Amino acid sequence: MVRDLVPGTWPGGPDADTDAALLARFLDGRDDEAFEALVRRHGPMVAGVCRRSLHNPADAADAFQAVFLVLLNKAATVRRTGSLGSWLYGVACRVAWKMRAAAARRARHERTHAEMTRALEQDTSPYPGNETDALVPVLDAELSRLPEKYRAVLVLCFLEGKTHTEAARALGWPPGSVAKRVTRGLDLLRARLVSRGIAPAAAAGMLGTATEGMSREAVAAVREAAGLCLAGRPLSGAVSTRAFATYRAVMRDLLVGQVMGFATVAVLVGVLAVGAVTLLAPARAAPPVPAAAAPEPGEAPSVDEDGDPLPDGAVHRFGTLRLRHGATITSIAYSANGRFIVSGSWDNIVRVWDASNGKSLRDIHPQDGWILSVAVTADGRRVAAGGDQRSKKVRILDVGSGNTLATLEGHEAAVRAVAFSPDGKQVVSLSEDGTARVWDPDGGTELVKVTVGNKRPGFFQYAGVTFAPGGKTFVTAYGGAAVGEWDVETGKSVRTYEREGCRFHSVGYAPDGKHVVAGDANGQVCVWAAGTGVFEHQVRGQDATAHSVAFAPDSKTFAAGYGVLIEPQRYWSSGEVTLWDTKSGSLVRRFTDHAGPVTSIAFAPNGGALAAASQNGILVWNPADGTPLLRSAGHQSNVHGVGFVAADRAVTCGADRVVRLWNVGSGKLVKEIGDGQACAYALATVPDRGLFVWGGLDGAVHLGTADGAEVRKFTGAEGTTTTVALAADGRTVAAGGVDKIVRLWDAETGKLLRTLDGSTTWIRSVGFSPDGKLMAAGGTDGKVRVWAAATGKLVRNLHGHSSDVFNVVFSPDGRTLATAGRDDTVRLWEVSSGQPRWEFNNPTTARAAVTFSPDGRTLVTSSGGQNRGVRLWDLTSGRELCKVWGHRGYVTAVAFSPDGKRVMTASDDSCSLVWDVAALKATAPPAPSNEVVEAAAAAAWADLLGPNAARAFRAREVLVASPKFSVGKAKEVLHAVSGADANKVKELIAKLDDDRFDVREAATAALEKLGEVAEAQLREAVEKAPSAEVELRATRILKKSDTPDSPERTRQARAMELLELIGDADARTVLRDLAKGAPQATITREAAAALRRLGER
């Protein structure tokens, strides 16, 4: 890849001063020699971009000058940037694009209409050339779009000839990170080129042309201009008209200060002359570039299926980022030219999307609350964004830069709707404070205030406002039985559009000015004649609020978007868009493929697309035939559950009522399953058995296999199922939900085995212990309840969380229970004692998720807030290993692969990410050294065996650092259990029915002493029940085994856990000896399981 893309490097060695130092000298001391040094350093790279993109030498010379004019103006900002070369590369690409666009316009004006038509059909480029000429702009464009950390290092190493050491010094990075990011950057560039249909080999030699200098004529012209400047003479012709015009256009795009005066430009012209002369020097021969290392099998790709970058450490994205927010989208709007869509969301972000492919063009963060409404000016340059109750503002945002141009303040509550006048000179806002206000969007002045109703702040209080086509009036819908039309200049009422019994929340004005349409809370959509207010007819899509209405550009049809926001049972299934004939009111088409309520709709200006916001995604159709546009293979809304159902197979479920199976190796969708009728809230998998279960809104629970077959359905729950679990042996299914009951079914027969009572609140989470003996459940009251799964006996309550417990999961060895709650904590509990072991403060988890690695040594927790991803923790020390961000929405679920090499996350942004665990851990800071003296180890051992579970947990780190001491102590606590003769147990059970009381008592005591060694035969005796006495005594003995473990058993469990954590040869020897004991004994089974987790079979 490196050979194909970069046949040579730039001449020149490292300068004494860094870019930052030179910029500081220029800015603080007005040192023109410092700026000259920057031009000399980066000029060859800039010239290369200009020459490759602009084959006309005159245009290339103009572009070269324009780039450095921009630098001169932006220098105060750029000196805080890590890589000036990367920044200049981006500016050069932008300038070249501007020059190419201008050249294209000139070419079109110079052609006749027929010639232009032929040219557009054959070639839109004003620069005829060979195939490589056409590919060059694509290469530069894709390189300029790389994330900064990859673009910066590629520009330095391959376009400016820096060594890895020099690049690390320039960027302030550790030297070791440069090679890694070069490799990732080249992978990302390769993938981007392939997605554009260009083989990397086709790009061979493109960047090599960068060493060509400017023409001698161009250099002479610049030198002449420099001479004029130094002599103090007028600058006529010093900088070409096109260069200066291009510079100004780019500055407008970047929204920096005023165009600099000609006196400042004079300084630059002299510098440009020196810099341009250096470009005539022939390039040194480039040293041979080593071939790129062949990728390892299964190496993580750096982009997803859409070609969008993956976060560091991620290997796959199941789903898409395109047209997706991280939370509910409240409002959408098309630009007048139809090229982009703007959306606002509860995630506090305004996003600008490419309407042709759904790709994100810009994210704008007002930073003061949810975005409840958006509108776009006719020229597409500005967006108005209405804020929630915290903000109460309307912000005027620049689409190109994301900057806030004006803030409109005055409302006393959330701003539910905004609209621009057709000429963009006014903006109207409608607030929950009961007022509509007209503003000057440039100066931020309030022009008119109209009272449309009472102040009604409400979480789901939708409202609508829009201008009439001429811009002289606007109409409002504010929950009443009438839509008001108001004069823009005076604020006086012009007319009302009324319908008795309705409560209107949305309104639209036909582009031809002939009709007004409004949607109400009960699904009615009414149509009136504009100008007269005469009611014509009404239509109804469904029994749900019409949150949004919109006319098609030709005014012949209108659409309405429906949804129920406050009824959980209908929320996910209520979304619908209907298309109606304006004149007759007849239904044209229904669009029902929504994952939640439809909150906003918009037609493309040409009428060729209809977009609808539903939950956190935007769906787009062709309204003429209902064909979906811009669809992805992933979920259309929140992903609620993820898991691995086999080594190479993952499963996800979500709000779009579909369960999806994925190939983990390729990242491809394998199959979609489910009846599509109910939102899936919960998922659990057992990869060793190739099974998974899911449940959701309708209360039903389904059992599926790794090949996508649904083999059984379990019913009986009343209301939504919020959580499910599957025992490790695949034999028992559990589920809980809003009816406050945990149900257990036989997976083979579907028979209900038992219900686990005791909860007084909704069940949020359930989980089996690895041996299937215990069932834990978390509720909305913050309590965690633990039952004996076989009998339904409540073993204990765990108190600690203050709110909903969203996750309960046992460690692989069954000794620890992890719980995660809405209270921003993840807690570890000792199963044998019920005591807390550790607490991880996990700020802004909101909807927490947690899981253990298969070896039990690492814990993964979700993170919320503005940084949404996961954190990895070392469970020996409690130390945080790393944080990784990459989701736009809250992370709702996490799961490890069976081999522990991958971790998967689910999010409200409709995506699941698969992460490389080794890559994540590689970023962890080095662990502190633990030099332990014998006295400290002895004290830690006392803590390990002591009554305090938290101190025992902390003691493990010291004891792991003293393996010889710890293994010796563990041998004193742990002893292999001898097996019991089956015939002897049989005889003792028979004596439970002896006529003599003392014999029955002695047999009972002997069986209690044998404990779990006799458990299987005791259960058989209960089932066969030869007599009431045997059944009674055997049941009593078994119930004792369901009680919490004794202090001695707790100490044994801690010692066993310590041996596994140490895992050296001596520890394994002890574990092997213990594994030779009675097969029924807990110590025997735990020792064998520990050896398996350590890699022994």
* Residue 681: predicted pLDDT: 83
Number of neighbours of residue 677 by Cβ within 10 angstroms = 11
- How are beta strands 784-788 and 774-779 bridged, if at all? antiparallel
pLDDT on residue 742: 95
Continuous segment of H or E residues that includes residue 394: strand 394-398
- The residue among 540 and 989 whose pLDDT is bigger is 540
Q: Say which range, 16-25, 719-728, 739-748, has the weakest mean pLDDT.
A: 16-25
- pLDDT range class, residue 495, cuts 50, 70, 90: very high
Give pLDDT tens digits for 78-129: 644 457 887 888 888 888 877 877 776 655 544 433 432 332 233 333 333 3
What is the pLDDT averaged over residues 857-864? Answer: 86
Instruction: Please state, for a pLDDT cut of 70, what percent of the chain lies above it.
Output: 78
Whole-number pLDDT of residue 511: 98
What integer pLDDT is reported at residue 301 of this predicted model? Answer: 47
Are 662 and 649 a contacting pair, CB within 8 Å? yes
Grouping H, G, I as helix, E, B as strand and the rest as coil, residue 203 is helix
Q: Could you tell me where in the chain the CATH 2.130.10.10 domains are found?
A: 462-603+620-631, 639-851
DSSP, collapsed to helix, strand or coil, labels residue 245 as helix
- Which pLDDT value is given to residue 516? 98
For helices 57-78 and 262-278, give the axis angle rounded to 10 degrees.
120
Residue 287 pLDDT > 50, yes or no?
no
- Residue 1068 in this model has a pLDDT that exceeds 60: yes
Question: Residue 806: is its pLDDT beyond 70?
Answer: yes
CA gap 634, 618 in Å, rounded: 13
By mean pLDDT, which of 5-19, 479-493, 505-519 is the weakest?
5-19
Query: What's CA 592's distance to the chain center, in Å?
Result: 26
d(CA 480, CA 143): 54
Q: Kindly state the average pLDDT of the residues 1004-1013.
A: 77
pLDDT band at 368 (very low <50, low <70, confident <90, very high): confident
Average pLDDT (966-980) is 87
| The pLDDT of residue 1004 is above 60 | yes
Taking 50 as the threshold, does the pLDDT of residue 264 lie above it? Answer: no
Phi/psi at 981 (nearest 5 deg)?
-65, 125
Residue 557 in tokens: 């049809």
Residues 407, 449: contact at Cβ < 8 Å?
Answer: no
CA distance 70 to 1017: 86
User: Does residue 675 have a pLDDT over 70?
Assistant: no
For residues 734 and 766, the answer to whether their CB atoms sit within 8 Å is yes
Place of tokens 């000196």: 79
Give me the pLDDT at residue 167, please: 75
Mean pLDDT on 768-777: 95
Enclosing H/E stretch for 193: helix 175-195
Q: What is the mean pLDDT of residues 698-706?
A: 92
| pLDDT grade for 1024, boundaries at 50, 70 and 90 | confident
| Mean pLDDT in residue range 994-1004 | 88
- Residues 947-957 have pLDDT tens digits of 999 999 999 99
| Side chain identity, residue 95 | V
Which SS3 state, helix, strand or coil, does residue 717 take? coil
DSSP string, 833-901: T--EEEEEE-TT-SS--EEE-TTSSEEEEEE-TTSEEEEEEETTT--EEEEEEEESS-EEEEEE-TTSS
| Residue 325 buriedness (CB in 10 A; 0-12 / 13-18 / 19+) | buried
Are 285 and 173 in contact by the 8 Å Cβ rule? The answer is no
Q: Are 418 and 427 in contact (CB under 8 A)?
A: yes
pLDDT digits (tens, 9 = 90+) for 573-631: 568 899 999 999 999 999 977 667 899 999 999 999 999 998 889 999 999 999 999 88
Neighbours of 654 (CB within 10 A): 32
pLDDT of 932-947, one tens digit each? 667 888 999 999 999 9
Say if residues 620 and 594 touch (Cβ distance below 8 Å): no
pLDDT of residue 1032: 85
pLDDT at 282 over 60: no
- Taking the C-alpha atoms of 1030, 1033, 1037 and 1039 in order, what is their torsion angle to the nearest 10 degrees? 100
Q: What is the mean pLDDT of residues 656-667?
A: 91
User: Residue 364: which pLDDT band, with cuts at 50, 70 and 90?
Assistant: very high
Average pLDDT value over all residues in the chain: 81
What's the CA gap between 545 and 976, in Å, rounded? Answer: 68
Is 193 in contact with 199 (CB distance < 8 Å)? yes
- Residue the block writes with tokens 């209520």: 574
Q: How far apart are CA 248 and CA 966, in angstroms?
A: 73
More confident residue, 609 or 1011: 609
Integer angstrom CA distances of residue 83 from 23, 79, 88, 172, 674: 12, 9, 9, 9, 51
Residue 455 CB coordination number (10 Å):
12
pLDDT digits (tens, 9 = 90+) for 27-38: 766 666 777 777
**Tokens 């969380």 sit at which residue?**
801
Between 151 and 644, whose confidence is greater? 644
For residue 751, the one-letter residue type is K
Quick one: what percent of the chain has pLDDT higher than 90? 46
**Taking 90 as the threshold, does the pLDDT of residue 837 lie above it?**
yes
Confidence of residue 809 (pLDDT cuts 50, 70, 90): very high
Q: In degrees, to the nearest 5, what angle opens at C-alpha 286 toward C-alphas 280 and 291? A: 145
Query: How many Å separate Cα 235 from the centre of its chain?
Result: 53
Distance, in Å, from the CA atom of 340 to the CA atom of 628, rounded to the nearest integer, reads 18
Q: Does domain 639-851 have CATH number 2.130.10.10?
A: yes
Strand-by-strand arrangement of the 858-863 sheet: 850-852, 858-863, 868-874, 880-887
Could you identify the residue written with the tokens 């450095």?
68
- DSSP for 75-95, please give it: HHHHTTSS-HHHHHHHHHHHH
Q: In angstroms, rounded to a whole number, what is the distance separating the alpha carbons of residues 426 and 475?
A: 14
Q: Specify the pairing of strand 350-354 against strand 340-345.
A: antiparallel
Residue 160 per-residue DSSP state = S
List, in sequence order, the alpha helices (H) in 299-396. none
Alpha-carbon 624 to chain mean position? 33
CB 513, CB 471: distance < 8 Å: no
Give the lowest-confidence range in 80-89, 356-365, 668-677: 80-89
d(CA 595, CA 726): 27
Q: Where are the beta strands (DSSP E) in 597-696?
A: 598-603, 610-614, 617-621, 628-629, 639-646, 649-654, 659-663, 669-673, 680-686, 691-696
Q: For 1072, how many CA atoms within 13 A lie in the half-sphere containing its CB?
A: 10
904 strand-pairing partners: 895, 914
Residue 883: which pLDDT band, with cuts at 50, 70 and 90? confident
Rounded to 5°, angle at Cα 399 from 397 and 401? 90
Say whether domain 462-603+620-631 belongs to CATH 3.30.1360.20: no
**C-alpha of 1006 from chain center:** 59
Alpha-carbon distances, residue 1067 vs 283, 968, 969 (angstroms)? 64, 9, 11
Q: Is the pLDDT of residue 841 over 50?
A: yes
Q: What angle do CA 5, 11, 14 make, to 5 degrees?
A: 110
